[in-house]
Chains A and B, each alone.
Chain A
């Protein structure tokens, strides 16, 4: 089995008496997208700033491909592409000029810069603005230029702080697709406070709260592991009172709610306890009482719900 690309060990960051990040330990593999999720002040940006080499950790260390960031800061930084939340760019530079500048500082040869610049202009659809001043571009284009500089030289670890912040839905989808593309060659760590984003983009999620890991796993795993109970969606044909009588007769069903009625079919949402596998019993009872079951499906618990449970 391959060693993880990124190893973070007991990472701590203190600003005076304030501990912004406290003892983070996690690994990330190549071709994986890790989402850092948490409310404002959870330590996401501070964590990314430490991973990027901008801030030095108070304690702990970061290893990229086995190389310690404390001992070899320049070597490790050469494997990192970073896009801060504010998308800082030199407004007075042209797009292609800026990408060449970043390529040069990443130590690429003249030929390498040209090749990478062409690749990025094509992949990020920036060809038609390549000779325009960055300051004159729209927010969506600026975001793409920011992503392009992070991807310049194809670093193995790409850090994106709130990459879809302030973008419209169409631009958000474009960035999501680009992240999927970057993942083919690199490992991506992104921070966000938007749950739906992390669910769509990340293979793994770290939920941060007050600088510590509150939970980790894939979005689906987290949903399963941390769900307080199960929610089922039912569609039944029959008398409403009779259906509710069946639900009331089952102590495993904690609550039942009629959602709507359409063409003689009643749609319900029911909550059960966490462990019980009660689908067979529901089917049996409904059929036994002469009711026609059209649909019975389990609803996956939303990450939002888990998130709120963890931080409160």
Chain B
């Protein structure tokens, strides 16, 4: 555990040695803030329109669903673009520099190496989504009402989704020596997994409909709405563990060449 912690801290330090981590964090937070502002404005507009139009039957506008669930789904989509830059370095750069050969000959297990890298990338991801907690607080300050349970569920969904994306991104990084290739492949894989649920809309692709079960979006939607389904949670956990294990196996094979 001590060695894992040393590697984890060093990985985080390395991430902040370059400006990439700061830029990613700043841009992600800025865009998620922009989503919050536009969703809040949208909610305000439709509720004012409803009040101004007499004769329309009474409707229950749900602030949590329109603003916060919408925010979680949009921010999760944003993670498709922002997670590959977090994971692309992890193994690809080590392999390019040759430092992986040295790292793997130190008395540290392959599992510790994989977990050290996973947790450092995951910490960056958590730092990116952490400000999402501020938005419900802002709504509360402004006198709005929302459901904390839905916020917690949506946040849990973000955490699980991030863990899945990062474990897959790290695995892809272990397959190549190029950060660009790693990021591109990761983005392609994330996008496919995000959209896999749409396969059922294409009759020609009927034999591939089963892939829809792996749709990250479908599993995320219910969590973002505050529905805690154990199947969704197990799906994300299993997905994360599978790719962490696959990365460890990949390191153990050590067939790569620089």
Q: Which residues of A contact B (CB under 8 A)?
A: 15, 49, 52-56, 74-75, 77-78, 80, 82, 84, 86, 88-93, 101-102, 104-107, 149
Contacts and interface: CB of A to CB of B under 8 A. Distances in A.
Give the top 10 A-B pairs by smallest Cβ distance, nearest first. Answer: A88-B98, A78-B107, A104-B6, A52-B105, A88-B99, A77-B107, A92-B17, A105-B106, A86-B98, A82-B105
Interface string B148-168: 000000000000000000000
User: Looking at B6, B14, B105, B108, which has the most chain A CB atoms within 10 Å of its CB?
Assistant: B105
Interface string B81-122: 000000000000000011101111111110000000000000
16 contacts: A54-B104, A54-B105, A74-B109, A77-B107, A82-B105, A88-B99, A88-B102, A92-B17, A93-B14, A101-B6, A104-B2, A105-B3, A105-B7, A106-B106, A107-B3, A107-B107
A86 B99 CA distance: 9
Interface in B1-22: 2-3, 6-7, 10, 14, 17-18
A92 B14 contact: yes
A74 B107 contact: yes
Contacts of B254: 54-56
Contacts of A74: 107-109
Contact of A88 (B6, B7, B97): B97
A86 B10 contact: no
B208 to A, nearest CB: 33
B258 interface: yes
Contacts of B255: 15
B37 to A, nearest CB: 36
Given A54-B254, A90-B14, A92-B17, A102 B106 contact: yes
B16 to A, nearest CB: 10
A200 to B, nearest CB: 26
Nearest to B104: A54
B13 to A, nearest CB: 8
A34 B255 CA distance: 27
Contacts of A93: 14, 17
Interface of B: 2-3, 6-7, 10, 14, 17-18, 97-99, 101-109, 254-255, 258
A53 B106 CA distance: 9
A53 B105 CA distance: 6
Contacts of A82: 102, 105
A149 B102 contact: yes
Contact of B10 (A15, A53, A101, A106): A101
Nearest to B97: A88
B167 to A, nearest CB: 23
Contacts of B99: 88-90
B104 to A, nearest CB: 6
Nearest to A83: B102
A104 B98 CA distance: 20
Given A88-B97, A90-B99, A77 B6 contact: no
A20 to B, nearest CB: 12
A251 to B, nearest CB: 56
B177 to A, nearest CB: 13
Contacts of A77: 105-107
User: Looking at B99, B101, B109, which has the most chain A CB atoms within 10 Å of its CB?
Assistant: B101
Contacts of B7: 105
A191 B155 CA distance: 55
A74 B105 CA distance: 9
A70 B103 CA distance: 18
Given A74-B109, A105-B106, 14 more contacts: A49-B101, A53-B104, A53-B105, A54-B254, A55-B254, A56-B254, A74-B108, A89-B99, A93-B14, A93-B17, A105-B3, A105-B6, A105-B103, A105-B107
User: Looking at A56, A89, A104, which has the most chain B CB atoms within 10 Å of its CB?
Assistant: A104
A92 B18 contact: yes
Nearest to B108: A105
B18 A84 contact: no
A88 B108 CA distance: 18
A84 B98 contact: yes
Nearest to A161: B101
A215 B67 CA distance: 77
Nearest to A55: B254
A53 B7 CA distance: 19
Nearest to A107: B107
A78 B106 CA distance: 7
Contacts of A107: 2-3, 107
A55 B252 CA distance: 9
Contacts of B102: 82, 84, 88, 149
B3 A104 contact: yes
A237 B236 CA distance: 93
B98 A91 contact: no
A149 B98 CA distance: 15
B17 to A, nearest CB: 5
